Amino acid sequence: MKTTRTQNLLAAALIGVTVFTATIARAADPLPSWNEGKAKQSITAFVEKVTKPGSPDFVPVAERIATFDNDGTLWAEQPLYFQALFVFERIKVLAPQHPEWKDKEPFASLLKGDMKGALAGGERALLEMGMATHGGMTTEQFEKIVSDWIATAKHPVTKRPYTEMVYQPMLELLAYLRANGFKTYIVSGGGIEFMRPWTEKVYGIPPEQVVGSSIKTKFEMRDGKPVLVKLPELNFIDDKAGKPAAIQHHIGRRPITAFGNSDGDLQMLQWTAAGSGPRFCLYVHHDDAKREFAYDRESHIGRLDKGLDEAAAKGWTVVSMKDDWKTIFPAEKK
Amino acid sequence: MKTTRTQNLLAAALIGVTVFTATIARAADPLPSWNEGKAKQSITAFVEKVTKPGSPDFVPVAERIATFDNDGTLWAEQPLYFQALFVFERIKVLAPQHPEWKDKEPFASLLKGDMKGALAGGERALLEMGMATHGGMTTEQFEKIVSDWIATAKHPVTKRPYTEMVYQPMLELLAYLRANGFKTYIVSGGGIEFMRPWTEKVYGIPPEQVVGSSIKTKFEMRDGKPVLVKLPELNFIDDKAGKPAAIQHHIGRRPITAFGNSDGDLQMLQWTAAGSGPRFCLYVHHDDAKREFAYDRESHIGRLDKGLDEAAAKGWTVVSMKDDWKTIFPAEKK
């Protein structure tokens, strides 16, 4: 009898420990880099109401679609979109094979180190450089180029790898949503194949949940082996009004929550907000010149103007990076 | 002591029952509508080797991508693609709003009941009728039209709902693959938004795992409410060489297994087969005139000619519907 009682007590104690540990785990803050306040509270309140069984706002797991812009929302976008910096480097690498670039804008200015001249042609110039560097190779070749670049390239200001220029509070938010049954998607103006090689490792978002801008591809047989060749021909620009169209095309469901930082995300947030049932829209506001960059209504990159007004009018959450985030970037990896 | 012993025996018995039930469940044939033979064996052998931990052919869950054609592979496609039959019905419904159709081919012939005349223009005529009936409305309006149609429309020969014109052995195969960690996708020449309203219910495939042909959509504000308007303008034809391109665009990973029934699926199977590591390609061969339809090299719909040759040359599995399938369609729902 004594042995049995001791065993029972031991078992009870073990169960107690297990329950206690589980309680601590549950009670742990899933968003430790977020300061307590309205923004953080609005997130957890939304997640709690849509996941609570029996709640009038309960949303089945299959419908818990969350879409995130990338540039300026999940990682930084200053002094210039990181993909543009990738394009510039590729132009320098490819220049020996393109002697004609010496006399052709915007390539000529860029190769002379005149960044301002290279960007004088605006979006059209960027697009031209993008197609010249992304097209004319197979999807596998491009994937390798991106993977090699992202593994070694450094941000021009902070000198950190681009994959460490991601926002720690947003990484926590992605994980928190997924832990609550959400399927997290990127819906970015950036190139779909520029993002896919690293989003799973950096954000936990697999290639099939990445939506972005794209050029056309062509299936071909080369030496009896099928390849997909990237053509220097625009397929789709996943920005502004393009974002809801791309969401419908790729996902086929309306998100119940969407996250952005610029007017380029406004239509995605409007589309998300206009669905029936509980909805949550959030803008990241870059107002922290000291720890990151401060820009909004007047910026050429990531302009947030109409979006700020609409967020105020509709009661969307606006995150102050300065006030709402304890830390901006993850700790440096040694 | 007696009570304790009895309880222990009871507990042991319960555990035994549980283990026993689990064993039965594991041992049960996951493909009961498939006759024993080479085709069935090739499927289970592939699934076993890629899912067995420690196997040299083991494939991580995230990479277990399986793509399925729809027309002729998951559901029937005779006497005509079901979506074409939907288009014809829509033209009749919409005719009063389009008096000009009375004098315009292919609409005029169709409205006179002259199917042959309507189809004389071939693919171009079908496409024109498709855009006239799929464009000019919002995505939500179109979804409702498809949902209403699929709930009531009947196959012209069998008089069964189209959602019962699906192949029972393929339903089992989809479930078997998913139970083994595969993500199952449709990659069809059919309209992406024509399939999405019912694929989850019929095949267990959610909208975000449906890839297909599409027309363009445009984001608009209507009375302050955002809508996506379907334009009568082609976006993408997901057939032949389009299939690998669409797979790359939507999924961003190469499938490790692919299933088709026609030359329209050949490039998808080639693309799948050319990846590194274990691969499995399968053609469904329509050779059962009695229980379904018999057609291959000479058919205008679902022609399987080059594909049969390549399957023989490459050792892909070719399923004889007559010999390999015990049943074709699910039991009728009362």
CB contact under 8 A, A219 and B4: no
Does A230 contact chain B (CB < 8 Å)? Answer: no
What pLDDT is recorded for position B122?
84
Average pLDDT of the segment spanning B306-323: 98
Does the pLDDT of residue B186 top 80, yes or no? yes
CB contact under 8 A, B219 and A249: no
Average pLDDT of the segment spanning B253-279: 98
What pLDDT is recorded for position B6?
52
CB contact under 8 A, B274 and A206: no
Count Cβ neighbours within 10 Å for each residue of A239-248 and write b for 16 or more, e otherwise. bbbbbbbbbb
Which amino acid is residue B292, in one-letter code? E
- CA torsion A191-A252-B213-A209 (nearest 10°) is 30
Count Cβ neighbours within 10 Å for each residue of B169-188 and write b for 16 or more, e otherwise. bbbbbbebbeebebbbbbbb
Nearest to A62 among B206, B219, B244 (CB): B206
Tokens of A249: 């095309």
Which amino acid is residue A290, in one-letter code? K
Chain B contact set for A274 (CB, 8 A) = 225-226
> How distant is the Cα of B254 from the closest Cα of chain A, in angstroms?
11
What pLDDT is recorded for position B123?
81
CB contact under 8 A, A228 and B244: yes
Does A54 contact chain B (CB < 8 Å)? Answer: no
DSSP string, A266-332: HHHHHHHHTSSS--EEEEEE-B-TTTS-B--TT-SSS--SHHHHHHHHHT-EEEEHHHHBS-SSPPP
CB contact under 8 A, A249 and B217: yes
> How distant is the Cα of B112 from the closest Cα of chain A, in angstroms?
35
Spans of chain A, pLDDT less than 70: 1-27, 334
CB contact under 8 A, A244 and B228: yes
Residues in Cβ contact with A63 at an 8 Å cutoff, skipping those fewer than 6 apart: A253, A256
Please give the distance of CA B196 from its chain centroid, rounded to a whole number. 11
> How distant is the Cα of A13 from the closest Cα of chain B, in angstroms?
20
Dihedral sign computed on CA atoms, order A192, A193, A195, A199: positive
CB A67 within 8 A of CB A278: no
Neighbours of A8 (CB within 10 A): 10
> How distant is the Cα of B128 from the closest Cα of chain A, in angstroms?
21
Q: How far apart are CA A250 and CA A255, in angstroms?
A: 12
List the one residue out of A261, A244, A243 whose CA is nearest residue A297.
A261
CATH tag, A30-78+161-324: 3.40.50.1000
Residues in Cβ contact with A317 at an 8 Å cutoff, skipping those fewer than 6 apart: A38, A39, A42, A43, A280, A281, A282, A283, A311
Q: How far apart are CA B23 and CA B197, in angstroms?
A: 37
What pLDDT is recorded for position A5?
54
Give the H or E element holding residue B137: strand B137-138
Give the H or E element holding residue A106: none
List the one residue out of A160, A153, A164, A165 whose CA is nearest residue A78.
A165
Nearest to B274 among A214, A226, A245 (CB): A226
Chain B contact set for A241 (CB, 8 A) = 218-219
> How distant is the Cα of B201 from the closest Cα of chain A, in angstroms?
13
Strands across the sheet with B65-68, in order? B137-138, B225-236, B210-222, B183-191, B65-68, B257-260, B280-285, B317-320
Nearest to A208 among B235, B253, B267 (CB): B253
Does B249 contact chain A (CB < 8 Å)? Answer: yes
CB B74 within 8 A of CB B199: no
CB B248 within 8 A of CB B222: no
Q: How many CA atoms lie within 13 A of A116 on its CB side?
A: 0
Q: What would the pLDDT profile of B231-244 be if each residue is shown by its tens digit?
A: 999 999 999 999 99
Does A257 contact chain B (CB < 8 Å)? Answer: no
> How distant is the Cα of B250 from the closest Cα of chain A, in angstroms?
6
Q: How many CA atoms lie within 13 A of A275 on its CB side?
A: 23
> How distant is the Cα of B213 from the closest Cα of chain A, in angstroms?
10
Chain B contact set for A310 (CB, 8 A) = none
Nearest to A207 among B228, B235, B252 (CB): B252
Chain A contact set for B192 (CB, 8 A) = 249, 252
- What are the C-alpha distances in Å from A302 to residues A205, A317, B241? 22, 18, 37
- CA torsion B331-B65-B67-B166 (nearest 10°) is 10
Dihedral sign computed on CA atoms, order A285, A291, A293, A297: positive
Tokens of A236: 């789709």
Tokens of B166: 């699906």
CB contact under 8 A, A196 and B245: no
Chain B contact set for A139 (CB, 8 A) = 248
Compute the radius of gyration of chain A from its Cα atoms: 23
The pLDDT confidence band at residue B8, using thresholds 50, 70 and 90, is: low
Chain B contact set for A206 (CB, 8 A) = 62
Nearest to B139 among A139, A208, A248 (CB): A248
Which amino acid is residue B199, in one-letter code? T
Chain A contact set for B270 (CB, 8 A) = 226
Nearest chain B residue (CA) to A207:
B252
Does the pLDDT of residue B222 top 60, yes or no? yes
Q: What would the pLDDT profile of B76-100 be if each residue is shown by its tens digit?
A: 999 999 999 999 999 999 999 999 9
Question: CB-based burial of residue B305 (10 Å sphere; 0-12 exposed, 13-18 middle, 19+ buried)?
Answer: middle
Chain B contact set for A182 (CB, 8 A) = none
Tokens of A24: 């601590």
Q: How far apart are CA B159 and CA B67, in angstroms?
A: 29
Q: Across chain A, where does the E strand assignment appear?
A: 65-68, 137-138, 183-191, 210-222, 225-236, 257-260, 280-285, 317-320
CB pairs under 8 A between A and B: 82
Q: How far apart are CA A305 and CA B69, in angstroms?
A: 45
> How distant is the Cα of B22 from the closest Cα of chain A, in angstroms?
26
Nearest to A245 among B210, B228, B267 (CB): B228
pTM here? 0.91
Average pLDDT of the segment spanning B285-294: 98
What pLDDT is recorded for position B218?
97
Does the pLDDT of residue B25 top 80, yes or no? no
CATH tag, B33-78+166-324: 3.40.50.1000
Neighbours of A176 (CB within 10 A): 17
- What are the C-alpha distances in Å from A312 to residues A260, A283, A285, A305, A307? 15, 11, 13, 11, 9
CB A188 within 8 A of CB A69: yes
What SS3 state is found at B227? strand
- What are the C-alpha distances in Å from A156 to residues A85, A88, A160? 9, 13, 8
Does A67 contact chain B (CB < 8 Å)? Answer: no
> How distant is the Cα of B71 from the closest Cα of chain A, in angstroms?
20
Q: What would the pLDDT profile of B69-80 be if each residue is shown by its tens digit?
A: 999 999 999 999
- What are the C-alpha distances in Å from B250 to residues A108, A178, A332, B139, B302? 36, 21, 34, 19, 24
